[in-house]
Amino acid sequence: MSDATLAPARQPIVRRYPVVLVFLGCLALFTLGITILSEGFGIGVISTSFVKTLGKTLCLCLVALAMDLVWGYCGILSLGHMAFFGIGGYAIGMWLMYARTEIIVVQSLSAAPLPPTVQEISDGIAAQIFGVVGASEFPPIWAVAHSLPLQLAAVVLVPGLLALVFGWLAFRSRVTGVYLSILTQAMTLALALYLFQNDSGLRGNNGLSGLQNLPGLGDVPQSTVSIWFFWASALALGLGYVLCTWVVSGKFGSVIRAIRDDESRVRFLGYPVEAYKLFVFTLTAVIAAIAGALYYPQAGIINPAEIAPIASIYLAVWVAIGGRGRLYGAVIGAAFVSLLSTYFTGGQAPDINLGFYTIQWVNWWTVLLGLSFVVVTLFAPKGLGGLFDLIAARRSPDRHGADLGPDVGALREKEAEK
In a domain, residue 281? The reply is yes
Residue 240, in any domain of the structure? yes
Which is nearest to 168 in space by CA: 75, 276, 328?
276
Instruction: Note whether residue 1 is domain-resident.
Output: no
**How far apart are the C-alpha atoms of 65 and 184, rounded to whole Å?**
18
Residue 137 lies in a domain: yes
pLDDT for position 6: 46
The whole model's pTM is what?
0.87
Q: How many CB atoms lie within 10 A of CB 236?
A: 19
CA distance 199 to 406: 47
The total number of structural domains that make up the chain: 1
Residue 326 in any domain: the answer is no
**Residue 374 domain-assigned?**
no
Please give the chain's pLDDT, 418 residues, in tens.
444 444 555 666 666 777 889 899 999 999 999 999 998 888 889 999 999 999 999 999 999 999 999 999 999 999 999 999 999 999 999 999 999 999 988 888 887 777 888 888 888 888 898 888 888 888 899 999 999 999 999 999 999 999 999 999 999 998 888 999 999 999 999 999 999 988 888 988 898 988 888 888 878 888 899 999 999 999 999 999 999 999 998 899 999 999 999 999 999 999 999 999 999 999 999 999 999 999 999 998 999 988 888 889 989 999 999 888 889 999 999 999 888 888 888 777 787 888 777 778 778 888 888 888 888 878 877 888 777 766 665 555 554 555 555 555 555 544 444 4
Give the structural domain span for 200: 13-311
Q: What is the pLDDT of residue 255?
A: 94
Q: Are 257 and 410 in contact (CB under 8 A)?
A: yes
DSSP H or E segment with residue 352: strand 352-353
Vertex 222: Cα angle to 217 and 225 (nearest 5): 65
pLDDT at 5: 45
User: Are the CB atoms for 224 and 44 separated by under 8 Å?
Assistant: no
Alpha-carbon distance values, 154 to 35, 84, 141, 159 (Å): 31, 12, 11, 8
Count the helices and strands in the chain (H runs, E runs).
16, 4
Residue 319 domain-assigned (yes or no)? no
